[in-house]
Chain A
């Protein structure tokens, strides 16, 4: 099932044939990009059970819009853009029914985070500590607006550069930087509120 990035000329040929109506040439593109899309969708929505359905829908959308792909960006970036937009819609729908708040996290989780607050690299953490940190940030992200959640996930979890984020979201570099800073500030503020409320 694992597929490495296809040869660019081969990929261009599949896309061209797909655009001219040869539906079956979409299959190798799905094969080549499914893992990347699974990763981005999982990190954005963080619901294991929903990921596969969402990825299927993303590929359906991509196929429906394949005529609009014009090679200005790479096919991967174009696909990422569709994935992120689809997840945006999903998160907005979910937001109204969301009930989890970051201050609901366990005392143990809080203790672990405080203990490791000066070691941002995950290398020094054991699996239990990583779990507690994951629990904490998942709740922080769940509380964040969709815009913040998407941009923080792309930068801090998917480890995309500001340039890549700008291409995926179709925003100017300066706008990405501003939004990123705003999202980070909100996260810090959330953490402070939680600490005050304890």
Chain B
């Protein structure tokens, strides 16, 4: 018999089997294994006598109360998801949709914010020029015109800056 097979038999307390006995007479390693296993087993068996602690008074009641508390917490969680959670989900979806739209739009064009501001600026400049032309035709002198041309940045925005003479 192989040592490992003998040891398995020995562990089950069947070391009186003839085949095991024969093996043991010639194998000192298995004999030593048996001796060591008996020490370990003695110690393990000694633990059987050590009784577990008693359940304290009202143990079942406490378990049932915990179950009640847990189910209340679950109900609260469900209500929260129903009332608040759904709104949060909708808001998140809206934000995601907006982001997608921003990414999907072309980089230039009338709907882009930079394009819009540029076109408004151009329109404003055109409008200022035409106002100046109109003012010049309506009787402004050449000095006024030269003032306005020398300060182009302010002329368009401050007609009052010219003031009464």
Please report A residues at the B interface, Cβ cutoff 8 Å: 1, 23-24, 26-27, 30-31, 34-35, 38-39, 41-43, 48, 51-52, 55-56, 59-60, 63, 113-114, 116-122, 125, 130, 133-134, 136-138, 140, 152, 156-157, 159, 177, 180-181, 184-185, 187-188, 191-192
Contacts and interface: CB of A to CB of B under 8 A. Distances in A.
Nearest to B60: A30
A78 to B, nearest CB: 17
Interface in B15-44: 33, 35-44
A192 B55 contact: no
B57 interface: yes
B66 interface: yes
B60 A31 contact: yes
A43 B52 contact: yes
Interface string B44-55: 111111101111
Contact of A60 (B36, B40, B46, B63): B63
**Range class of the B interface residue count:** 35 or more
A191 B42 CA distance: 13
Contact of A156 (B4, B44, B71): B44
Contacts of A140: 40, 43
Interface of B: 4, 7-8, 11, 33, 35-50, 52-57, 59-60, 62-64, 66-68, 70-71
A68 to B, nearest CB: 17
Contact of A38 (B33, B35, B52): B52
Given A117-B35, A134-B43, A181 B7 contact: yes
B42 A113 contact: yes
B126 to A, nearest CB: 74
Given A23-B67, A27-B60, A51 B53 contact: yes
Contacts of A133: 42-43, 46-47
A91 to B, nearest CB: 16
Nearest to A42: B52
A122 B52 contact: no
A63 B7 contact: no
Contacts of A34: 55, 59-60
Q: Closest 7 A-B residue pairs measured CB to CB?
A: A42-B52, A137-B43, A133-B46, A156-B44, A117-B39, A120-B42, A133-B43
Contacts of B67: 23, 26, 60, 63
A191 B53 CA distance: 29
26 contacts: A1-B59, A23-B71, A24-B64, A26-B64, A26-B67, A27-B60, A31-B60, A34-B60, A38-B53, A39-B52, A52-B56, A63-B67, A114-B39, A116-B42, A120-B42, A120-B45, A121-B42, A130-B46, A130-B49, A133-B42, A134-B50, A140-B43, A156-B45, A181-B7, A184-B11, A192-B36
A187 B39 CA distance: 10
A52 B53 contact: yes
A26 B45 CA distance: 34
